[in-house]
Amino acid sequence: MIRACVQFHSMADNQPIELYFKNPVDILIASEISEVTAVLDQVEQYSQEYYVVGYTAYEAAAAFSSKMKVKSVDTYAKFYIFKEPAAPFDDCELMRPMEFQFNASKQHIVAQINHIKEQISKGNTYQVNYTVRLQSASSNAPYAVYKLLTHDQNGQYTAYIEDDDEAVISISPELFFEYDKTTGHIYTKPMKGTMPRSNSADNYNQLQYSKKDQAENVMIVDLLRNDLSRIALKNSVNVSSLFEITAYATVYQMTSTIEATLPAHISMNQLFEALYPCGSITGAPKISTMAIIDQLEDKPRGIYCGAVGIMLPDGRTIFNVPIRTLVKQGQNFVYGVGGGITVDSVPEKEYDEMVAKTQILNALKQDDFHLIETMRIDESGIKRWDYHVKRLVQSLNHFNMNYEKEQLDNIAGLTTEGTKMLRLTASDGKIFYELNEIPVIKNATAVLRPMLETDGDKLRYKTSRRDHYKVDNDRLSLYYNQKMLITEFNIGNLVYKLHDSLFTPFVHDMLAGCMRQQLIDEGMIGERNLSLSELIDNKHKIKLWMVNSLREWTEVRLESDSETINGNSVQKSVE
């Protein structure tokens, strides 16, 4: 499947562009550096009648100047030619939580930054945009990742490209250039200067008046002004905005805007020769700094720090700088992050800034607070699905969390070979799932314990706040409340047999399980309170089961323990 989605903001009319594409009529690929300029020529021809979406790798820079030192890559440029836009994609894929790891240690990164400062002190560069990678192995559908990231972030230049070999997920907030060949007007909007977002205005103000970040920003502004002046009409280059602060979901960013007017019939190759790669992701001076980058960074950047964009048949061309960008190849997602290193840089702070820029990836993790549903699944589907989805939706509504019904509808059709555990976790706008083997209960004995938690939400809803349940790998816990009534097990509800009838306690500040509710609805069990004293006095007459939707029925034996009740030892009472 080949498809693309572009959600860009047009500087010219201050309007969004949101377009979806499927089934290209042609694909243009530069597998050698010598093929890049020819591909751009073909792309430009196609753009007179077709929509063109694609990218150039950072390493494509060598096509425009042999002085630019870069590594080799498999693909230097790839563009897809579409006849017309398609309907928005209706995918609603399931997601597993993702964890990303840096490919370099903090110690290594700090050492590299110190090396860059040495290069600056020697006069070899003024600023270096140094980058590293994070990666995560995951089978998640890339478009599901894109949807989740665009839901959480407000990047104005987001793009999604998917083919059989790779997927590009660009949540970039940075414009490389927007050019309208009918008017000759061009905008660039470099982004330099970052501060973690906070609830107060402190970090916003600190970034706005930071001399270090202003110096870093203006250095790149001057670089881009110089790049544009190589092809712009005389006296048309203008800095229309300087040191503008924009708030994003996880960081504040400093941007500036440079505008110019280009002569008629400027070609794409001329544009790229003058501007590429964007100075904000190289540093200054560009050529000598790229040589330092080539020495320091052990892997090619690829699409990251290149350009991803669209060419429209109405004459407009918009490319982003693909920062905040994931590339999926096989089962591996790779994310690049970097920062501008100057003479004033403090290595540890630069590392912290890099970490702040990775906070976008937190959207792909499970939130600290989330809802949980644990189910039994096999070849026939999910057991008690209707009960679980009803409880989950009630919980989502109770905690004012949003969700997409289509996600739940997709989950409903899951099946597995053999019986497995299906675990759903849900928070605002996110539903993740995991499939695992059902954990074995090694010892189906239970210890009586008091439930000390009194927060009704913790007790009545199945959430990640489960510290009130004692974890004991050797045995189960059977709880009683402050009224000395038996409530539930730590991982299931109680069903007990008394006088040839099956009962479960009424819901008193405990989780009403789906298996329990099904048994009540089917008339298999009734509701009846069981006091602690009644259980202890009749422990040889009462038969106990733990029931939950995952394991269904588990017969349990009550074991003695040293907990005290009203000053008396439960152990003595049970014995």
Residue 236: closest CA among 311, 310, 183: 183
Q: CA 562 to CA 569: how far, in whole Å?
A: 6
425, 457 Cβ separation under 8 angstroms: no
396, 370 Cβ separation under 8 angstroms: no
Terminus-to-terminus CA distance in the chain, angstroms? 67
φ, ψ of residue 152 to 5 degrees: the values are -90, -25
**H/E run at residue 117:** helix 106-121
Three-class DSSP category at 187: strand
Spot the catalytic one: 78, 189, 192, 328.
Answer: 192
Diameter of the chain measured on Cα atoms: 98
286, 294 Cβ separation under 8 angstroms: no
Spot the catalytic one: 59, 174, 178, 259.
Answer: 174
**Which amino acid is residue 194, in one-letter code?**
T
**Which amino acid is residue 240, in one-letter code?**
S
Q: CA 326 to CA 139: how far, in whole Å?
A: 14
The DSSP code for 87 is P
User: Count of H helices and E strands in the chain?
Assistant: 14, 33
Three-class DSSP category at 543: strand
Strands 127-137 and 157-162: unpaired
282, 294 Cβ separation under 8 angstroms: no
Residue 567's CB is within 10 A of a number of other CB atoms, namely 5
Three-class DSSP category at 326: strand
The reply to whether 32 belongs to the active site is no
**Which amino acid is residue 459, in one-letter code?**
L
Three-class DSSP category at 528: coil
The reply to whether 488 belongs to the active site is no
- Write the DSSP assignment of 460-526 as a string of letters: HS-BS--TTSPP-TTSEEEEE-TTSBEEEETTEEEEEEETTEEEE---SSS---HHHHHHHHTTS-E
Q: Output the CA–CA distances (angstroms, integers) from residue 155 to 114, 133, 355, 522, in the order listed.
A: 31, 20, 18, 51
Q: Which two tokens stand for residue 373?
A: 């549903």
Residue 174: closest CA among 199, 161, 157, 160: 157
- Write the DSSP assignment of 327-367 as a string of letters: EEETTEEEEEEEEEE-TT--HHHHHHHHHHHTGGGGGGSPP
**H/E run at residue 450:** strand 445-450
Signed CA dihedral, 192, 196, 197, 201: sign only: negative
Could you list the active site residues? 174, 192
